[in-house]
A = this chain, B = another copy of it.
């Protein structure tokens, strides 16, 4: 059966690999392991009682629509709440600019399918979010990587790549960017670079996919305007947002903001993909917003994660060996920080040593579409407790010390 079947799969699927990160994550589930590997929000942030109450109330009140099929575009009641929510972030759009989706991963998949033929190019950061790499690869994308520094994607290098691609007759379909507290690097794209990126997008006629899962989780510094806002309605930015990190992920709800022409195409695509995002979960999210739970909960999350980030940074400072090539980002928000180790260390193989010390991270190589990242790792501070962060960093420091010798 297997051999016969193998020849039947599509080329896109044949080229897909089981996610290495996913396989490694399975190894981190031992209860004695302190895992910095996941990217989960802390369950402390879930207002169980309120959600239980509002779920019951809304089904009694509006079950006729929450239990039925809904429009592909998304529930207009939820759109109304989202429009208000993003207006506070300087984005003034109407319902035709919005599509409700099953969280950011579906948004990434939809964007990939909307634009990519096999072998089409996309520009991504080095490193980049693994789920984006996976979604784009699943449509046969070619990746062109641009280095990051402490201010985000390097614009000199972006220009260089765009020029070369134009010369080669292979312009990219889009630039993929997480401007705020990038996953995995924890880096924020500076205001100047944001403007430069949009200028380049205009000059080279290329779209920008702005993925903003963590934007509202800022712990220090000032919020920068989003790329969508800076674009000023010129239609060059498609923004992807999710409730996963600011409400809770179990609903799998997010939204795409884009030019109505693009939304219109995405609606046709979504019709073929799943008809609509569940009206049930959309009703829960709508009621959650209507009851005014969203903003105060975000504020609580920010408080909680700010402390955890602080604990992690202090623990790193205290326990990590001093070495000129050992450093980490100090993210202004989000869930992750990124550790660079000396090039003599291979974080892929060190992962198993860390497991022996009962601590886990995500290997840096997972965030590169090419061969990079073996000198890096991503660690998460939102899920573990403060005590676990303290102890886990100690264990991690011990492993790294061993490998420095």
The residues of A with any CB-CB pair to B shorter than 8 Å are 1-2, 4-5, 8-13, 16-19, 22, 40-41, 43, 46, 48-49, 51-53, 55-57, 59-60, 63-70, 72, 102-103, 105-106, 109, 113-117, 120, 131, 134-135, 137-139, 173, 205, 207, 234-235, 244, 248-252, 259, 261-262, 265, 268-269, 271-281, 283-284
Contacts and interface: CB of A to CB of B under 8 A. Distances in A.
Given A10-B115, A67-B48, A278-B250, A5 B135 contact: no
Contacts of A205: 4
A109 B273 contact: yes
Given A252-B277, A265-B9, A16 B272 contact: yes
B2 A261 contact: yes
Most central of A13, A46, A259 by chain B CB within 10 Å? A13
A102 B250 contact: no
A322 to B, nearest CB: 37
Given A106-B274, A135-B273, 4 more contacts: A9-B115, A12-B113, A46-B67, A51-B67
A105 B272 contact: yes
Contact of A11 (B117, B269, B272): B117
A70 B250 contact: yes
27 contacts: A1-B261, A4-B205, A5-B261, A9-B115, A10-B116, A13-B114, A13-B265, A43-B67, A46-B67, A48-B67, A49-B60, A52-B63, A56-B56, A68-B249, A68-B250, A69-B249, A69-B250, A102-B102, A103-B275, A105-B273, A109-B272, A135-B272, A137-B272, A138-B269, A138-B273, A250-B278, A250-B283
Nearest to A282: B250
Most central of A43, A63, A103, A272 by chain B CB within 10 Å? A272
